[in-house]
Structure 1
């Protein structure tokens, strides 16, 4: 396919690649990944991107998909929810600057912003972390309703978001991959708990690893799925409804 007037035809493997050489590298890398990771479901695309991002074939087994959408609670549900949100031009809100910087500006028209920088007075008054205070401040403004919320660095941001969800906040999807030795695993487990209890789709992982690069990469893959859906390039059995209707021409012939 031709990439947005860039002047070359190739399988669109990476939204960040903008030159022929970069595209060739991205395609070769993803071809290698697909030798080790299935390529049958929307969730498999997230697994592939996690392996690509982390450089670790085994990381695919650490991902967890929770919550549900109108088609059920299968592993594809958070991916469908995230792609729908992209197609609906929902806000993308990250915990810190590094994650925001990693979210592609191509293939979508969503507003991408960061939480850090909000809630400074609350942090100063209470002594809580700046990211936790930022999440609480944004929640008071209903910023997370229907949004894609991506957390790649701060466990306390994930814990604060989980509390907000438990109290009624409903993001479209949560991508939570905070990294570290203190509260990181616990924060992701907490996201999974409220995801299941409240029906909010979420993509997390287990273990100590993770980080901003992973969270941004998984968010970019949600954007990529939305782009493929818009272009009618998803396999027929993977096409999902948007606002109750599948897109015209949706679904590539097998």
Structure 2
């Protein structure tokens, strides 16, 4: 199979370190129940945090990986994030290869004003703004920081018929984080990837997305 180039580290030294890290994880992880396409996503999340507990905490809707790959390979897909950290963490060159565009609204003045007026969070209003702009349908939505963003997205899916292509819902924290992800894990209509419990974070969303981009590039090579 043709090796990936776009979604790999840019230098030979960087590639060697990353590949050696993955090999160590494969050697030390022990048993796992993930499929051949799910495992690279979990492995990259373990790599991002040096935490083997993600073997078991990471959970997937049955259609999650395939839905994510379809959305990436379709081109021009929106990637909607709850916080700027996700957008900054994603490789611009890898996104550009697939024509993907990132969006986040958490610090917009109108979002802040709406949150104050409604006595809610900026994350809630940011998801509503993304919906008003028509960005959520068919999008990959990454939530790594704000449980209220995930809860609002689930409301939009349930009550307003919003249909993202994939939700990567991994908010971290002690208030509503585990609960919001449990709600996501009960969702049937929209594919999702999540982490059970309190652990999560924007770095894990970025890791999952980078793993999906790598799988998408490999599929491009297969098609060629």
Same-fold call, TM cutoff 0.5: yes
The 3 A distance-change label for structure 1 pair 163 and 132 is same
Contact 1:153-1:178 within 8 A present in 2 as well: yes
Provide the residue aligned with 1:31 in structure 2. Answer: 23
- CA distance in 2: counterparts of 1:157 and 1:58, whole angstroms: 25
Greater RCO, 1 or 2 (C-alpha within 8 Å, sep 6+): 2
Aligned-pair CA distance for 1:123: 1.0
Give every structure 1 segment of 4 or more consecutive aligned residues whose post-TM-superposition deviation is greater than 4 Å: 11-14, 37-40
Gaps of 5+ in 1: 3-10, 67-73, 233-246, 250-254
- Aligned to 1:42, the other structure's residue is in SS state coil
Aligned-pair CA distance for 1:13: 9.0
Name the TM-score, length of structure 2 as normaliser: 0.88
- CA distance in 2: counterparts of 1:188 and 1:178, whole angstroms: 8
Aligned-pair CA distance for 1:108: 2.4
The 3 A distance-change label for structure 1 pair 156 and 17 is same
Structure 2 residue aligned with 1:156, among 136, 148, 157? Answer: 148
Provide the residue aligned with 2:57 in structure 1. Answer: 62
- Aligned to 1:50, the other structure's residue is in SS state helix
Contact 2:166-2:192 within 8 A present in 1 as well: yes
Aligned-pair CA distance for 1:222: 1.2
Contact 1:14-1:23 within 8 A present in 2 as well: no
What is the Cα-based RMSD across aligned positions, in Å?
2.1
- CA distance in 2: counterparts of 1:13 and 1:217, whole angstroms: 17
- Aligned to 2:114, the other structure's residue is in SS state helix
Structure 1 or 2: larger helix share? 2
Aligned-pair CA distance for 1:23: 0.9
Aligned-pair CA distance for 1:191: 1.6
- CA distance in 1: counterparts of 2:19 and 2:208, whole angstroms: 17
Q: How many residues align?
A: 214
Name the TM-score, length of structure 1 as normaliser: 0.78
1:215 equivalent to 2:202? Answer: no
